[in-house]
Amino acid sequence: MKSLELVNIRKVYGDAVAVSDMNMTISQGELVSLLGPSGCGKTTTLRMVAGFIAPTAGSVLINGTDVTHLAPYDRNTALVFQSYALFPHMTVAQNVAFGLEMRKVGRAEREAQSLEALKRVRLDHLSDRYPRQLSGGQQQRVALARGLVLNPAVFLLDEPLSNLEAKLRGEVRSEIRSLQQSLELTTLMVTHDQEEALTMSDRLVLMEAGGVRQAGTAQDLYERPADAFVADFVGRSNVIEGGAEEAGFRTACGTLLPPAASGEAGARFYAIRPEKISIVRDGEGVEGALREILYLGAQTEYTVMLGQTPVTVIAATPGPDDALAGMRSGEAVRLRWSSADARLLNA
């Protein structure tokens, strides 16, 4: 069973706590993403697993074996760097075979395994090229092949798509996920990109200031955020400050919102996702004034002021005969949503 377990992992630099007592288990074939803002400790955690940083306290276990004090090359892990880290003077095949050469694998077997790894990422036809002759997406796939060829117990990905342009990022994202699932790779990925984390991961671990704010599936974090930080960071959300009353939630500027069906007593924040809100010109709903309209193609984003509180609404772009067609900034509108879609949260 290929698995990774972190037990009370902690990293301290002087008076600064980079990672605080993290516990986490990744099962064989599972992809878990560490997500969070810059400086939250996610890359430090990844590098402690890889062996490039020694933890101040705690243990790293791979397949049940404590590897906390082993060198990186003795851990049976493979790390794909954000910058690819390909050797410019080596061909694609030589780059992929490098790790096997360091492990004293014979030349014939090395070449066969490297070719097989390149086939997995569909680059075997470019084995004689040099990195400078490849596109960014192709270089990333070579870096993946270089890790795959080692048949690691744990596959580590450090911001694997950050250097790719948007369209290519989507394609390579699908390729990585497909490979990870077909090969049942136990994978830990670091990313600051919410879309990557939501679409690629079996589970997410959202970090902030060295600690874990919430862990769970993408649906858990998106639909059931533990607090206002999670709601605001994962996806887009209207997080509105105020206080709960018997009739609903009173915003800081005095607007009364419908009651939320779930949340915490005495909560100071009200969260509602932009796509859960309907915008209408008249009828029932919370009164507001339309401030801005952004055309996004299939969708349109509206900013509506409820007093001094801006609320974002995302809806399908109206057709020419739609009731919302021709709306203008400054127009009076009403917002509606189900209480089941709103949550009361603490800070």
Domains and their CATH numbers in the chain: 4-223 (3.40.50.300), 236-345 (2.40.50.140)
3-state secondary structure 167-232: HHHHHHHHHHHHHHHHCCCCEEEEECCHHHHHHHCCEEEEEECCEEEEEECHHHHHHCCCCHHHHH
| Closest CA relative to residue 255, chosen from 265, 263, 245, 264 | 245
Residue-wise burial string across 19-42, b where 16 or more C-beta atoms lie within 10 A, e elsewhere: bbebebebeebbbbbbbbeeebbb
Q: Quote the pLDDT of residue 30.
A: 95
Q: How much is the pLDDT for 2? A: 62
Q: Which of 29-43, 232-246, 260-274 has the lowest mean pLDDT?
A: 260-274
What is the mean pLDDT of the segment spanning 311-337? 88
Q: In the predicted model, is pLDDT for residue 330 greater than 80?
A: yes
Residue 27: is its pLDDT beyond 90? yes
pLDDT over 70 at 314, yes or no? yes
At 1 the pLDDT is 57
CB atoms within 10 A of CB 48: 24
- The whole-number pLDDT of residue 112 equals 86
Mean pLDDT of 88-114: 85
Average pLDDT in the chain: 88
Distance separating alpha carbons of residues 303 and 30, to the nearest angstrom: 39
Alpha helices in the chain (DSSP H): 42-50, 92-102, 107-120, 136-148, 166-182, 194-200, 218-223, 228-233
How far apart CA 102 and CA 243 sit, in angstroms, is 62
Task: Quickly state the pLDDT bin for 44 (edges 50, 70, 90).
Answer: very high
35, containing H or E segment: strand 31-35
Residue, of 228 and 163, whose pLDDT is higher: 228
Looking at per-residue pLDDT, the higher value among 266 and 196 belongs to 196
The reported pLDDT for the residue numbered 162 is 76
pLDDT in tens, 151-175: 889 999 988 877 777 777 787 788 8
Phi/psi for 320 (5° steps) reads: -60, -25
Q: Is the pLDDT of residue 323 over 80?
A: no
Query: Distance between CA 127 and CA 120 in Å, rounded?
Result: 13
pTM listed for this prediction: 0.85
The pLDDT > 90 percentage for the chain reads: 45
Taking residues 74-93, report their average pLDDT: 85
